Amino acid sequence: MKNIKFLFIILFLFTLFCFSSTKAFAFELELYYDKVEELLQGNANSSLEDVINSISLGPDEVIVRSKVDHNMAYKIKEVKITSEEQLIKDMGEDSYNDLTNSQKALVNAYRASQQQSVEDRKSHAYRDCKVNLYDTSDFEGNNDLDPTGLKQRIMETDFWPASYAKSGDIRIGSAHFANQTNAEEGKSIFIHEYSHTLDKSAYIDGMYGLDKVHYLDEITTERAAFKEAWAEYNEMIESKDRVKEYEKIARKNQLLKIESDTIGGYYRKEDKVKAKNASAEQLLANECFMATLLYRIHEKTGNNSKGEDKVSAAFYATNGEDNNMSNVIKQFLKDNPEDAKVVYEIIDKTLLGKMTDKEFLDFVGENEDSLAYVENRNKGFLAKLKDKYFKKSDSKKDKETANNTLQESEEDATTAIPVDYEDGKISSEKVQLNNNSGNPFED
């Protein structure tokens, strides 16, 4: 009897130790409110260094140098956020409705961090995450302090929403929302950046082009598109507005721009290509097409028997330095073979039928199901797709392009054919995640 009691005690202590260890090693998600109290600048009489050295710092106050203007710095007071009520009081108001629109966006970013969906995502974290919410509202639209608006634009860039691969930290600045009317954007921005911190795929130098900036309607690289698509997909499953925004770009007549390979930030009109005239390789390098691909699969297939989102489960199962869209799709099909035909058709629909049979099999993996689908692909689903996407209203040149790209020729499928374009502008989201070097994934 004593031995049994002794065993129960040992088992209890072991269970307690395991629980405590799990708790001790759980990765933290901590948010801080950073109030920009003062702008510091050098002048004719004093250098920036002299100005900084003359400042007396109180508790929790720090100096942060501008990464855009080397003659500018910020005096900031940083406080750890313990509740929404405390955050609003630190912003100097009694209620949410009294805040500026940009401050409301920061509160909404905090609210997003408290959602159960974020708590669920935390189980996939692999490092601690510190989130800094920078409040520059005292200087936003202040004509006395900033008559030209230049300082606000500098602050917007300095505190542009970003996440860093090395540290796993996030920054979100209120200046990003100063000219926006929808404070709910703060939630989507937080979800986007936090999702980035869960992604282990490696940053590749140059993947965002020479300007290290990416746009929703830009053809960048497959790795950049994959990383952004994962973050945007997470936004989409949280926000119907994001679904509409991203799917609006992932369409056949969307003009996709390409950065010059010699001049950073330069996009020539003649280099733009309509999506229906782009190659599969180019569509795989656009973040909106890739995010839409993931969302459409999620929308049609839902959750697994464990109640987990099937797409996210496939992503986390393959999460690693060399991860890519093909890996996620193959894992999804391995976990959910019953969804194979639906997924195959979604891939063809989203990529406008641009993949050759070989490219398609490489992308999804070669097996009995995929071979059966490919065998009838050109006479079946692709034929319907061609009739739907390339109708009589399309130009003769576009029809010819359709005939060329919707066939098995490797050469045709990998060549984008430029056409003459109207000056149709879209509401592009400029995602400028840069620091000293402009690298969005480096400290």
Domain boundaries defined on the chain: 29-197, 214-413
What confidence category does residue 412 fall into, taking pLDDT thresholds of 50, 70 and 90? very low
**pLDDT for 9:** 58
**Interacting residues of 175 by C-beta distance below 8 A, sequence separation 6+:** 102, 134, 136, 140, 152, 155, 156, 159
pLDDT in tens, 193-212: 999 999 999 999 999 999 98
**pLDDT for 399:** 47
pLDDT in tens, 374-408: 998 988 778 777 766 655 455 555 444 444 433 32
Q: Which of 37-46, 61-70, 278-287, 419-428 has the lowest mean pLDDT?
A: 419-428
Is 434 in contact with 211 (CB distance < 8 Å)?
no
The count of C-alpha atoms lying within 13 angstroms of the C-alpha of 437, restricted to the half-sphere facing its C-beta, is 10
Q: What is the CA radius of gyration of the chain?
A: 25
The order of strands in the sheet holding 61-65 is 61-65, 72-80, 29-41, 129-135, 170-173, 162-163
> Model pTM?
0.82
pLDDT in tens, 82-91: 999 999 999 9
Task: Average the pLDDT over 109-123 and give the result.
Answer: 96
DSSP letter for 85, please. H
Per DSSP, helices labelled H in 302-339 are 310-318, 325-335
pLDDT in tens, 291-339: 999 999 999 998 888 888 999 999 999 999 999 999 999 999 999 999 9
pLDDT greater than 80 at residue 16: no
